[in-house]
């Protein structure tokens, strides 16, 4: 039976809980079998629908009508559309109701005292003091709905109670059955190939802060034996929010939030926060934590000297992003100075500021803040949300599939024929492949993550067995630390539940800073059992015309003239110039996606002087 579409329209003041409840609702609907759900919240709307609009009544109405138009399109095509917008004016909400038809209005209600307490940016206080004009609910009106289908009182209800109340109302109104939804899997889901319905029945670990002994889920235990989880339960979140004004705060970059996400989900197990000086020294000198566990890259939170002085007397700090959507608590246990010349020489094996990883490090402060973290909220990850699986979720998936051996493949590039060859050779001897591209910050000339994801999905759809591959994204930023980062990436994949890790030529390298196979040799410096994930070491691979197939130095006797080898820079140059790539080098579907990307970039450059 085809899924029937409808719109759930959350309205309420900023801070009432619309986004929190909509996030949890998506998870609950997915548990019931819903496969076609789209959320239109502030970030998505601001980026794609509301650009150029201001805060006048006319512009606000125009914004809501645009959201309503998209909801109507989604709903009539079988999608559950969830809109989380303040939408302050009753008349325009009623207009959207008549436009959409199947429309469930949900009033998310909270008192002003609660809204002020939850507001980490202090905007309500400024508005109440007359410092902010046109602030909805204070200096600009909010008109509560007169007859909403559901009222959620977030003053007195936790998010789980609110979501269950909403689900009951959807059942009562006939939008949901009382057991589960029987849904047709559409072509867009098939595009995801390996990300089948098992991934949608995954365990959600964001509602408890307990670490999980995950060894029972896959044959390989997490690094250190325990899968760390640093998300606060709702009671803990509220306790932090109640005291929010008593903490000093620090605004972090997206790169730093990538590290926090990886700590919180357990991808960096056994780390529970930013490393202290004892662990820092041991990592850079010995490639191990102070307790002897293998670890090659110190996870640091760096600040400038003046900021370090101002924070020295604090025991706890609030960590936030620019918008206040991401929030964590740092239990500050120490501050120490970092010798960046020594650090880069030991970890990056160079102090050259032209190295992108070294440059990034020198752009940050010189003092490291140490301590455990507790995450209050990570905000909504709008990028690749369906593919952003946590270590607990991938371990649950692998167990459901019955996979005993899993090979992980790390990449920040499109997958060409040489990479495909390595992956399929690995698949001959393991149960499953975990394609795990990095989607955090990379160099400016790297292919954007969105373009790469399109390439991966096209490749998996056409050339891989759907039931033997899982595609997920890794939110880390690239450090370009070559051999040290190869160990780092392997440990992360062990935490995700993998038993093997594919290591090709110059893993995580850049330029000519590292030897071709240094990233493989570094594994020999660790004794058997120190790492529970095994490296699969591959030679440089290529297409040989004489062999008429993929080969490597180990299997091909022919000269370089017979081999089709293109460097990343040559590939980018050809694509920028509109030249063809040989079919022996890359699949035609991948080439077409890349060609379109570079074609758009070329058009843009005629206006911006980019080339």
Are 333 and 370 in contact, with CB atoms under 8 Å apart? yes
Q: How many other CB atoms are there within 10 angstroms of residue 88's CB atom?
A: 21
pLDDT in tens, 330-357: 999 999 999 999 999 999 999 999 999 9
d(CA 92, CA 389): 38
pLDDT for res 187 = 40
Q: Are 544 and 503 in contact (CB under 8 A)?
A: no
Neighbours of 54 (CB within 10 A): 11
CATH topology of domain 385-608: Rossmann fold (3.40.50)
Higher pLDDT, 185 or 284: 284
Cβ count near 449 (within 10 Å): 18
Tell me, yes or no, if 87 is annotated catalytic: yes
Phi, psi of 83 (to 5 degrees): -110, 130
What lies within 8 Å, CB to CB, of 213 at 6+ separation is 225, 226, 227
Domain ranges of the chain: 6-184, 234-377, 385-608
Assign domain 234-377 to its CATH superfamily.
Sulfate adenylyltransferase (3.10.400.10)
Predicted local distance difference test score (pLDDT) of residue 382: 55
What are the C-alpha distances in Å from 234 to residues 28, 230, 384? Answer: 17, 13, 25
Residue 56 confidence (pLDDT): 77
* Mean pLDDT of the region 324-328: 88
**Helix then strand then coil, % of the chain, to nearest 5:** 40, 15, 40
Pairing of strands 500-503, 406-411: parallel
Q: pTM of the predicted model, to two decimals? A: 0.73
pLDDT top residue among 455 and 102? 455
Q: Give the model confidence (pLDDT) of 268-314 as tens digits.
A: 999 999 999 999 999 999 999 999 999 999 999 999 999 999 999 99
Q: Looking up tokens 């490749």, which residue turns up?
A: 459
Choice among 50, 87, 269, 586 that is catalytic: 87
Report the pLDDT averaged over residues 254-258: 94
Q: pLDDT above 90 covers what percent of the chain?
A: 53
Confidence at residue 184, expressed as pLDDT on a 0 to 100 scale: 38
β 432-437/406-411 pair status = parallel
Residue 408 pLDDT: 98
65-79, 164-178, 509-523: least confidently modelled range: 164-178
The pLDDT of residue 286: 96
pLDDT tens-place string over residues 498-511:
999 999 988 999 99
Confidence grade of residue 578 (pLDDT, cut at 50, 70, 90):
confident
Q: How far is CA 415 from CA 421, 455, 486, 488, in A?
A: 10, 7, 18, 21
The string of pLDDT tens digits covering residues 32-87 is 777 788 888 765 676 667 666 776 788 888 888 888 889 898 988 888 999 888 88
Q: Which two tokens mark 154?
A: 């977030």
Query: What distance in Å separates the CA atoms of residue 48 and residue 555, rounded to the nearest whole number?
Result: 51
3-state secondary structure of 84: strand
* Residues 6 or more apart in contact with residue 304 via CB below 8 angstroms: 365, 366, 367
Q: How high is the mean pLDDT of the chain?
A: 86
Q: How far apart are CA 76 and CA 64, in angstroms?
A: 18
Note whether 6-184 and 385-608 share their fold.
yes
Q: Which residues contact 571 (CB under 8 A, 6 or more apart)?
A: 416, 581, 585, 586
Q: For residue 113, give every residue at least 6 positions away whose Cβ sits within 8 Å of its Cβ, in sequence order, or none.
A: none
CATH code for the part of the protein at 6-184 = 3.40.50.300
Do the beta carbons of residue 203 and residue 227 sit within 8 Å?
Answer: no
Omega of the bond leading into 270 within 30 degrees of 0 (cis) = yes
What is the arrangement of strands in the sheet containing 541-544, beginning at the earlier edge strand? 549-552, 541-544, 563-564
Phi-psi region of 65 (alpha: psi -120 to 50; beta: other; left: phi over 0): alpha
- Least-confidence region, from 203-212, 272-281, 305-314, 441-450: 203-212
Distance of CA 178 to the CA centre of its chain: 33
Higher pLDDT, 100 or 210: 100
CA distance 556 to 562: 10
Report the candidate in 37, 66, 61, 65 with the shortest Cα–Cα distance to residue 49. 66
- Report which of residues 202 and 54 the model is more confident about: 54
What average pLDDT does range 185-210 have in this prediction? Answer: 38
Sequence-ordered strand ranges (E) for 418-519: 432-437, 469-471, 500-503
Number of neighbouring beta carbons within 10 Å of residue 558:
12
Which helix (H) or strand (E) is 311 found in, with range? helix 305-311
Q: Mean of the pLDDT values across residues 118-128?
A: 86
């Amino acid at each position: 039976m085809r899924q029937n579409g409808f719109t759930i329209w959350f309205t309420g003041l900023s801070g009432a809980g619309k986004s929190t409840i909509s996030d949890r609702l998506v998870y609950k609907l997915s548990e019931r079998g819903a496969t076609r759900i789209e959320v239109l919240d502030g970030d998505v709307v601001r980026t794609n629908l509301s650009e150029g609009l201001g805060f006048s009544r006319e512009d606000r109405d125009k914004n809501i009508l645009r959201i309503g138009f998209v909801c109507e399109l989604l709903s009539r095509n079988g999608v559950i559309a969830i809109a989380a917008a303040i939408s302050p004016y009753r008349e325009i909400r009623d207009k959207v109701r008549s436009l959409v038809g199947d429309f469930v209005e949900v009033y998310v209600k909270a008192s002003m005292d609660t809204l002020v307490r939850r507001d980490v940016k202090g905007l309500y206080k400024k508005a109440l003091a007359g410092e902010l004009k046109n602030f909805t609910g204070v200096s600009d009106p909010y008109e509560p709905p007169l007859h909403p289908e559901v009222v959620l009182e977030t003053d007195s209800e936790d998010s789980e109670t609110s979501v269950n109340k909403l689900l009951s109302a959807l059942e009562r109104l006939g939008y949901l059955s009382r057991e589960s939804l029987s849904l047709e899997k559409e072509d867009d889901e098939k595009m995801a190939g390996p990300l089948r319905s098992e991934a949608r029945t995954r365990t959600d670990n964001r509602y408890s802060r307990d670490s999980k002994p995950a060894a029972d889920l896959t044959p390989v235990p997490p690094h250190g034996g325990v899968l760390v989880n640093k998300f606060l339960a709702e009671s803990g979140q509220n306790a932090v929010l109640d005291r929010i004004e008593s903490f000093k705060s620090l605004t972090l970059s997206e790169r730093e939030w990538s590290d926090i996400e990886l700590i919180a989900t357990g991808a960096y197990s056994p780390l529970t926060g930013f490393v202290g000086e004892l662990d820092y020294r041991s990592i850079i000198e010995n490639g191990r934590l102070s307790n002897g566990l293998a670890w090659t890259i110190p996870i640091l939170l760096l600040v400038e000297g003046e900021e370090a002085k101002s924070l020295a007397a604090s025991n706890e700090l609030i960590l936030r992003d620019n918008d206040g959507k991401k929030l964590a608590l740092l239990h500050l246990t120490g501050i120490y100075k970092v010798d960046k010349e020594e650090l880069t020489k030991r970890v990056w094996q160079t102090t050259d500021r032209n190295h992108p990883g070294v440059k990034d490090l020198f752009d940050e402060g010189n003092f490291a803040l140490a301590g455990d973290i507790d995450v209050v909220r990570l905000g909504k990850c709008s990028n690749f949300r369906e593919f952003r699986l946590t270590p607990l979720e991938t371990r649950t998936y692998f167990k459901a599939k019955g996979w005993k051996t899993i090979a992980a493949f790390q990449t920040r590039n499109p997958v060409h024929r040489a990479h495909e060859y390595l992956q399929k050779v690995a698949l001959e001897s393991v149960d499953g492949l975990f394609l795990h591209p990095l989607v955090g910050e990379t160099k400016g000339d790297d292919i954007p993550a969105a373009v790469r994801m399109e390439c991966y999905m096209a490749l998996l759809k056409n050339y891989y067995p759907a039931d033997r591959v899982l595609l997920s994204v890794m939110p880390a930023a690239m450090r370009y630390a070559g051999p040290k980062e190869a160990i780092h990436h392997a440990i992360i994949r062990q935490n995700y539940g993998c038993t093997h890790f594919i290591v090709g030529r110059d893993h995580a390298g850049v330029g000519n800073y590292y030897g071709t196979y240094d990233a493989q040799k570094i594994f020999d410096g660790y004794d058997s059992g120190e790492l529970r994930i095994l490296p699969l070491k591959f030679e440089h691979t290529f297409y040989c015309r004489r062999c008429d197939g993929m080969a490597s130095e180990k299997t091909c006797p022919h000269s370089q003239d017979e081999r089709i080898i293109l460097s990343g820079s040559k590939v980018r140059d050809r694509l920028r110039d509109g030249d063809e790539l040989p079919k022996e080098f890359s699949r035609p579907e991948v080439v077409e996606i890349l060609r379109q990307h570079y074609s758009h970039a070329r058009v843009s450059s005629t206006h911006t002087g980019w080339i």
